[in-house]
Amino acid sequence: MRAIFAILFFSLGFSLVQADIRPHQSGAWYNKDQSGHGLSIQVLDDERTIAFWFAYTPGGHPMFLLIDGVSDHHTVMGPAYYHEGMIWGQFDPEALHSEVWGEVSIEFLGCDRAVLSWSSVVEGYGDGQVELERLTYVADLECDEVAAELTGEWQVGISDESGGPYTVTVDADGAFEFIDEQACRWEGHIHVVSMEQGDLTAQFGSPTCPSPVPMAFAWGKYYANGATYCSSGGNCISYDQAMGLTRYHEGRTMDLRFLR
């Protein structure tokens, strides 16, 4: 089995596979600790996403920003525009004044989690970020956190360690844990972004190890349908299912490879 995993590491060529923006990311998002402002996000196509950020001025007056974003893997980035000038009841387009408020990015970390970051060119707003969670879904665009294909027993290997593979069970909610040869307990949580595209996100780490690997977000890919992969040396394997997850944290890269 160790040989199988050695081939798997080299032949699949797993790398950081970021989850592309999908229509199911559309909906209302907010931070529960800052209820009273939030975003309405609309994924228009594979390349463009717009969002309306309902917020307040430094003086406490309601305002909204229009974010016209470019979808780049798991992140939407683009300028935010501030609008003023129209008078209630008249709505004269000639009175509308728009200006660039700043740059905004929305990084999706799974079905129900995201991080909003901003850098404003308007005095009084500054730079910052806030964690978001989903408030609503659009009908028929629900995102399943864990698909049935991922639950059950797997063999898992760690890219930068010689030990393993280890037997691990992925629970129905995507949680998993296992103990390696150094008695370090690895734990994590897998989320399905798009089973059709095979896109996954996850958190994993080994916080209890003598040399802890902090929990951090990861992205990866799910493979199925009994494909065959061959290493550069000509060694080939076939499998029913496989997953590759890659995480980055403070300059360190860590890979987990699931196979069954």
Domains of the chain: 2-20+145-259 (2.40.128), 23-134 (2.40.160.90)
DSSP category for residue 149: G
Position 127 scores a pLDDT of 96
Q: Which two tokens mark 108?
A: 């999706």
Identify the band that residue 2 occupies on the pLDDT scale cut at 50, 70 and 90. Answer: very low
- CA 144-145-148 angle, 5° bins: 75
pLDDT digits (tens, 9 = 90+) for 232-247: 566 666 677 888 899 8
Distance from CA of residue 161 to its chain's centroid? 26
pLDDT at 184 over 60: yes
**Residue 133 to residue 32: CA distance in whole angstroms:** 8
Position 233 scores a pLDDT of 64
| C-beta of residue 258 within 8 angstroms of C-beta of residue 242 | yes
φ, ψ of residue 232 in degrees (nearest 5): -65, -20
| C-beta of residue 188 within 8 angstroms of C-beta of residue 229 | no
**Could you tell me which of 232, 187, 180, 253 has the C-alpha nearest to residue 6?**
232
DSSP category for residue 9: H
Position 45 scores a pLDDT of 87
**Residue 151 to residue 195: CA distance in whole angstroms:** 13
The predicted model scores a pTM of 0.58
Does 144 or 216 have the greater pLDDT score? 216
198's torsion region: left (phi>0), alpha (psi -120 to 50) or beta? left
